[in-house]
Amino acid sequence: MPRHGLYLCVAVSLMWLLAGCGGDGGTPPAETTEVGTASGIVETEGEAPDTFQLVLDGQRVPSPIGPDGTFRIPNIPPGPHVLDVLGPDGMSGGRAEFNVVPGVDSEIPPIRPVPRGQIAGLVLKWENGGLMPAGGVQVIARSDLYWIADESGEGRTVSSAQSSDSMPLIYPPPPGRTYSAFTNRSGSYLMQNVLPGPYMVSVVVPGFYPAHKFVLVRPGQTSVADFRLRPVVTPEFGKIAGTVVNADPETNYEPIEGALIQVIVDDPWAPPWPGPVDGSPPEPIEIPAGVDFPTAGALQAEDGEGSEPGGEPEFMPPDIRWQVFSTRTNDEGYYELKVPAGRRVVHCWAWGFGPQRRPVIVPEGDTIRVNFRLLPMPTPEPIPMPEPLPPSGAE
């Protein structure tokens, strides 16, 4: 074989090996997931629909809302999604939950904005002998879910939708409204477009005791829920860290901010009970003044009769089971995420880019590097708006 042909063969082989390794220490190349689209209409009264903003799964998308209220969002990965429509001040809007099928345009029911409120706060964690901001942490607010402890110390989960004394306690509860947000580098977060009412705000981070607070959201107001997380020993966890960049070389591989990183485990993970470090029973969560939770009435005994008269039931943290671990990249495209050790699949998605997933093995007590280079997706041309009809009688 000529020498120059041998050099060419070696060069091609090296390029193939580098492409196969993905530059991530031998992890397999990322797989691309097929996408779909979603379209719908925003119905407003007295406000211009095009002044509202679309937020898909907590990430603002640049797809505009037309003057007639119609919109279309392309390049959405398959599965369930949540779409929020935010007013200019963030205190009004609407929400829709829908499912995306690859290659299909999902029709979203009409969204009608109403007055809403906000939940905001700061999440700090005890680390290295002091309080540090907890960045990239997911905060979740849930309605219709709390824990009532009876005199025996056994808890039952009930729904606030049960207002009749004759209705029995149920477990598990029916699904309630859920809102979420991710903290930034300073540990602060903001949930917009929250329907008024009582909520339990939770922070569950592997390696720390979970924290819960009750808040009451009022229209046009911001409710505050701050947290300080205390560490626990969780040797069965590992960490995934990496960067997400634009794969287009013309952008000089610029970082992608706000990309969603998710790991879904097969078996739900139960966080440690949020009690004191010495193992003593946790104290009931404090209910702020003005928060009136309807309950299911008296606790029911096994024979169907009411429980013995005595003190009121106490609200306690629910038995939370975590199955999805999520974070978002910062302004440098960097992320860190603690997950149960073992074989996992890391999902990465950012609006305007093709989603990817990558199987990895998360080492116990160690960190694995998983980087993503997302390919930009072509943005479809906007649908031309029809010319308005002339008024009747006009020439």
Q: Tell me, what's the pLDDT at 47? A: 83
Q: CATH 2.60.40.1120: does it fit domain 235-272+319-378?
A: no
Three-state SS for the chain is CCHHHHHHHHHHHHHHHHHHHCCCCCCCCCEECCCEEEEEEECCCCCCHHHCEEEECCEECCCCCCCCCEEEEEEECCEEEEEEEECCCCCEEEEEEEEECCCCEEECCCECCEECEEEEEEEEEEECCEEEECCCCEEEEECCCEEEECCCCCEEEECCCCCCCCCCCCCCCCCCCEEEEECCCCCEEEEEEECCEEEEEEECCCCECCEEEEEEECCCCEEECCEEECECCCCCEEEEEEEEEECCHHHCCCECCCCEEEEEEEEEECCCCCCCCCCCCCCCCCCCCCCCCCCCCCCECCCCCECCCCCCCEEECCCCCEEEEEEECCCCCEEEEEEECEEEEEEEECCCECCEEEEEEECCCCEEECCEEECECCCCCCCCCCCCCCCCCCC
Residue type, 346: V
Class at the top of the CATH hierarchy for domain 121-232+283-316: mainly beta
- Residue 277 has a pLDDT of 54
Domain at 35-114: CATH architecture? Sandwich (2.60)
**pTM greater than 0.85 (yes/no):** no
pLDDT value of position 162: 43
What residue spans define the domains of the chain?
Answer: 35-114, 121-232+283-316, 235-272+319-378
Q: Give the pLDDT of the chain (395 residues) as one tens digit per residue.
A: 444 443 434 343 433 333 333 444 445 567 766 888 999 999 988 788 888 999 998 888 887 899 999 999 988 888 889 999 998 888 889 999 999 998 889 999 999 999 999 999 999 998 888 899 999 999 999 886 555 544 444 444 444 444 444 333 433 444 568 899 999 999 999 999 999 988 889 998 888 888 888 888 999 999 999 999 988 876 688 999 999 999 998 989 999 999 999 999 887 777 776 655 555 555 556 666 666 554 434 434 344 444 444 444 455 556 667 788 999 999 999 999 999 899 999 999 998 898 999 999 999 989 999 999 999 987 666 556 566 666 655 44
Name the residue type at position 386. P
Q: Which residue has the tokens 């690859």?
A: 102
Residue in 45, 208, 56 with CA at minimum distance from that of residue 123: 208
* Distance from C-alpha of 219 to C-alpha of 198, rounded to nearest angstrom: 12
